Structure 1
Amino acid sequence: MTTDIIQEVNELIEGQAELFGSLSEQVWSYAELSFAEQKSADLLIKAFEEKGFSVERGLAGLKTSFVASYGSGKPVIAILGEYDALAGLSQKKDSTVHDPIVQNGSGHGCGHNLLGVGSLAAAFSVKDYMDQHHLAGTIRFYGCPAEERGNGKAYMAREGCFEDVDAAFSWHPGSVNIVQQASSNAVIEARFSFDGVSAHAAALPELGRSALDAVELMNVGVNYLREHMPDKARIHYAVTDTGGSSPNVVQSHAEELYLVRSPEPADVRTLFERVVNVARGAALMTETKMSYQIEGGCHNLIPNTALHQVMLGYMKKIGFPEISEKDLEFIRAIYDSLGENEKKHALAQLNQNQKAAIADKPVEDWIISLPEKDAFMEGSTDVSDVSWNVPTAQCMTATWAFGTVPHTWQVVAQGTQPYALNATLFAGKAIACTAIQTLTDEELLDKAKEEFKERLAGKKYDSLIPEDITPPEK
């Protein structure tokens, strides 16, 4: 780690901050859902082409995926970017109360407008640094669609898009500054459909075979299953088609979407088969026909301590950006909008000194050290599938007010604020510095690869998305 790298990267990124802010705000305004991020992808592709990267579109059959490459030969360093939004989270950008732009419209409730552009900023500065120092190697930006629904990176990993990559880096917006030295739950996403026989619910109910009854019985059965599954496993569902709105009709068709999570790919496959058996039982009880279709899936995350130690060192050397008083006013208003349960949960993670700091300034501006052992997050991320194929490191930076809960209107409201962009560029700088050191430090790369092999312990990547499943058309 050298001060020279930090200084140069800082100048390279700050010199283009206006461009990065403009790109991020445009992606925020598009707020496109998974597999439909055409405007967002086109915008970022144009920026890369103007910067001198070569671009390949449509990786792994994903229309809104792309890879932008610069340089040649080894090592190959990947930086991952996302740009999909969430349904139902439309929100005006300068409002600190819930105020949708379009009722039930979409919004960047996980900050992926920032994520994609922060990673782009890192790739731009690595390219510039390579030019200035005549470095060998290749820098790639992977434009990764559908993280929120559909697991775009898992499709890309299944099709071998990362096979020749030596190391990969990513980040995520949040309310803390940390490297993500953690594992996660693997997940399978599947749609269950039931088909029965319609009938007049009053006159001839005995002739009906209710698909909606089957859906309800499946849900009851899965709720009983919860007692008999691993503690860290999770199962969630949403009824997506009740078959109609008339109670006087026996519904002949109904559907629901399930997410089944468990800490290891083998475990999630086992648990998923148990869920399928419950669905079979529900169909048997109602004399309906059941079918299911896996629509997505991703592995558990494999962290890399060697890369995370370097990334954390750069984060501490760079330092979290200063926050203006005007930004603090907005942050305080967002914090005040949170529910008491959200605040209580967030404060429970802090020591007394940190709680006192938050009371005055509700933003985590300190940088958290590596945990003594790997942490665990109950959620899932398709970055995991990359981490099963190549040594991968990630960080999170405080783009949001303390306690902000992901997938909420408060995240959308903060998505274009100056402090959010500054924290985004902070992440970009940390990634860029780590990527540059990985490009030039053979010993670090060898250490990261050796750890990667040790963590997998001979296990091979086998996608949770079956080979015959293709990305949905949008």
Structure 2
Amino acid sequence: MSVTEKISTLVDSKDEKFKELANKVWEFAETRFEEFRSADLLSNALENEGFTLERDFAGLETGFVASFGEGKPVVGILGEYDALSGLSQKSGSKSYDPIIPQGNGHGCGHNLLGVGSLAAAIAVKDYMETNNLPGTVKYFGCPAEESGYGKAFMAREGVFDSLDVAFSWHPYTMNAVPHTSSNAVIHATFTFYGRSAHAAQEPHLGRSALDAVELMNIGVNYMREHMIDDARIHYAVTNSGGLAPNVVQKEAEVTYLIRAPKPEQVQNLYKRVENIARGAALMTETEMEHQIEGSCHNLIPNSTLERVMHQQMDELGFPELNDQDIEFAKAMYHTFTDEGRESAKSLFDKEYASQLDERPIADVILPYTEKLSFMNGSTDVGNVSWKVPTAQCYTSTWALATPFHTWQVVAQGKQNYAHQGMLLAGKTMACTAIRVLEDEDLLSQAQEEFKNRLDGDQYESLIPQDLMPPRRNVSEAVGVE
């Protein structure tokens, strides 16, 4: 049997267990830094499979590392399990139907992501045992990917320093191994403090913090003309100072995401935004405080590992779909706009795209290309990729054209085709990890490429050293009285 056949057999022998775990994490739907039940569920599952657990590390209560084996090479597999607020949705519903209005939901598929990676780690462990293969496999339980930057805190504390390679994946609407970079990001909050007064009777005595926020935003918007094309800046007013228009707002707050392709570029933009905030405070005679909330580095691709990963996915192929899969995917597909459907189909050749209206689940493996693409968004996998050679894949877990962070993602989170895509990702990562464990030359080539791509640059955390992740009371998080 080939490696792909052996790994497929190992994963398939436990597939019902993996599906059950993914469904439970979907039901927990815990947001960033509050994933207590999800972390316990996955860490206990790994411990029961013979992994050694380290919990509550790098200041992250809901983070953990599960290790098996000893010595080199050391392979890391990254898992996530945080949900999003405001995206509660009934599973299998073909229209918007929240379980709890404004409740949480897995709108980015991290219930699948965490368990697909867990399946990979367990399959590698089982293969190592059966074949007496030396080395170490580590599953990293990474909390708070969604604007919590869990891996950035982990990277700052040196959690990934022992690795030789790392692998990850993400649920998506296609099967591919991307060769891509991304924007680095700094997330910061700016708070202004003014002086309250009656806005009609004594406005001259007031100093408006809300005016300062508005002037800051205007200044940043004028700055956009003088940024590099790939930079992105967006903001949200998180405290407008109250609901009474006849009271001068004494406090107001705005939070910013500042993105650029390189860490030094995003740092420079952040300094310019800081200066604009200071100017807004000066103009309004208010006081200003600012705080970095988190950050991500840009992705460093590794074509050596990506080529091997694509080869494994191609050999595995996408699993067969049933009629119920197609029927539900079509229902989801028709909730999207014409523009969204046409945009999604444009990623495929015309012959295949012509079939997608009737069969809107991408079941082909897209070709691998070493032409570098660019993602304007950001991911904390980027921080790992600055520490160690890293590769990741996408698999079809959602109907074609499904947008991230929507109720449609949540509705599909327990579907058979979502589970099948999850298991394909697990098998792909496991097969790639085995190739690294068995081939010293492959590992050397990946590490040499990693060194060349960094070109002498060193990882430096963009998060202040004194900034720590928030800590919650466990009994409050799980609803215990």
TM range (shorter): over 0.9
Kindly state the Cα deviation for residue 360 of structure 1 after the two structures are TM-superposed.
2.4
How far apart, CA to CA, are the structure 2 residues paired with 1:372 and 1:430? 19
Show the counterpart of 1:380.
378
SS class of match (1:357)? coil
Show the counterpart of 1:151.
149
Give the ranges of 4+ consecutive aligned residues of structure 1 lying more than 6 Å apart after TM superposition.
none
Does residue 1:234 correspond to 2:242, yes or no? Answer: no
How far apart, CA to CA, are the structure 2 residues paired with 1:223 and 1:229? 11
- 1:466 partner letter: P
Show the counterpart of 2:62.
64
Given candidates 76, 79, 99, the residue that maps to 2:77 is: 79
Does residue 1:335 correspond to 2:333, yes or no? Answer: yes
Does residue 1:38 correspond to 2:22, yes or no? Answer: no
Given candidates 444, 448, 451, the residue that maps to 1:450 is: 448
Show the counterpart of 1:429.
427
Show the counterpart of 1:209.
207
How far apart, CA to CA, are the structure 2 residues paired with 1:394 and 1:372? 14
Show the counterpart of 1:141.
139
Kindly state the Cα deviation for residue 369 of structure 1 after the two structures are TM-superposed.
1.6
Kindly state the Cα deviation for residue 350 of structure 1 after the two structures are TM-superposed.
3.2
Does residue 1:293 correspond to 2:291, yes or no? Answer: yes
Show the counterpart of 2:90.
92
Deviations 1:383-406 (A, max 9, x none): 001000000010000100000000
Deviations 1:273-319 (A, max 9, x none): 11111111111111111110001001000011000000000100000
* TM-score, scaled to structure 2: 0.97
Kindly state the Cα deviation for residue 346 of structure 1 after the two structures are TM-superposed.
1.8
Kindly state the Cα deviation for residue 341 of structure 1 after the two structures are TM-superposed.
2.8
How far apart, CA to CA, are the structure 2 residues paired with 1:321 and 1:357? 18
Kindly state the Cα deviation for residue 442 of structure 1 after the two structures are TM-superposed.
0.3
Correspondences of 1:82-231 after superposition (within 5 Å): 82-231=80-229
How far apart, CA to CA, are the structure 2 residues paired with 1:90 and 1:195? 35
How far apart, CA to CA, are the structure 2 residues paired with 1:190 and 1:335? 36
SS class of match (1:42)? helix
SS class of match (1:147)? coil
Given candidates 251, 257, 260, the residue that maps to 2:258 is: 260
Does residue 1:246 correspond to 2:244, yes or no? Answer: yes
Kindly state the Cα deviation for residue 176 of structure 1 after the two structures are TM-superposed.
1.1
Kindly state the Cα deviation for residue 354 of structure 1 after the two structures are TM-superposed.
2.7
Asked if the contact 2:81/2:143 (under 8 Å) is kept, the reply is yes
SS class of match (2:66)? strand
How far apart, CA to CA, are the structure 1 residues paired with 2:471 and 2:200? 41
How far apart, CA to CA, are the structure 2 residues paired with 1:222 and 1:446? 45
Kindly state the Cα deviation for residue 447 of structure 1 after the two structures are TM-superposed.
0.4
Number of residue-to-residue matches in the alignment = 472
How far apart, CA to CA, are the structure 1 residues paired with 2:351 and 2:232? 34
- 1:34 partner letter: R
Kindly state the Cα deviation for residue 352 of structure 1 after the two structures are TM-superposed.
1.5
SS class of match (1:85)? coil
- 1:407 partner letter: H
Kindly state the Cα deviation for residue 433 of structure 1 after the two structures are TM-superposed.
0.3
Show the counterpart of 1:465.
463
How far apart, CA to CA, are the structure 1 residues paired with 2:425 and 2:399? 16
How far apart, CA to CA, are the structure 2 residues paired with 1:7 and 1:447? 25
How far apart, CA to CA, are the structure 2 residues paired with 1:245 and 1:354? 54
Given candidates 46, 49, 63, the residue that maps to 2:47 is: 49
How far apart, CA to CA, are the structure 1 residues paired with 2:453 and 2:370? 16
Asked if the contact 2:330/2:358 (under 8 Å) is kept, the reply is no
How far apart, CA to CA, are the structure 1 residues paired with 2:423 and 2:437? 21
Deviations 1:143-199 (A, max 9, x none): 000100121001101100111100000000000111121000000001110000000
- 2:113 partner letter: L
- 2:165 partner letter: A
How far apart, CA to CA, are the structure 1 residues paired with 2:266 and 2:41? 37
Q: Please, which moves more after superposition, 411-420 or 275-284?
A: 275-284
How far apart, CA to CA, are the structure 2 residues paired with 1:345 and 1:214? 40
- 1:333 partner letter: A
- 1:52 partner letter: G
Show the counterpart of 2:369.
371
SS class of match (1:448)? helix
- 1:375 partner letter: S
Asked if the contact 2:179/2:370 (under 8 Å) is kept, the reply is no
Deviations 1:215-256 (A, max 9, x none): 111111111111111111111111111111111110100111
SS class of match (2:219)? helix
% identity of equivalent residues: 57
SS class of match (2:196)? coil
Show the counterpart of 2:407.
409
Root-mean-square deviation (Å): 0.9
Q: Please, which moves more after superposition, 80-89 or 277-286?
A: 277-286
Kindly state the Cα deviation for residue 105 of structure 1 after the two structures are TM-superposed.
0.7
How far apart, CA to CA, are the structure 1 residues paired with 2:68 and 2:378? 30
Task: Point out where structure 2 has 5 or more consecutive residues left out of the alignment.
Answer: 473-481
Kindly state the Cα deviation for residue 413 of structure 1 after the two structures are TM-superposed.
0.5
Deviations 1:16-65 (A, max 9, x none): 01100110000001111111110100000110111110000112111100
How far apart, CA to CA, are the structure 2 residues paired with 1:368 and 1:457? 30
- 2:68 partner letter: Y
* TM-score, scaled to structure 1: 0.98
How far apart, CA to CA, are the structure 2 residues paired with 1:271 and 1:311? 36
Kindly state the Cα deviation for residue 411 of structure 1 after the two structures are TM-superposed.
0.5
Task: Point out where structure 1 has 5 or more consecutive residues left out of the alignment.
Answer: none
How far apart, CA to CA, are the structure 1 residues paired with 2:451 and 2:139? 24
Kindly state the Cα deviation for residue 436 of structure 1 after the two structures are TM-superposed.
0.7
Deviations 1:333-387 (A, max 9, x none): 0000112232232233333213212122111111112224111100100000100
- 1:394 partner letter: Q
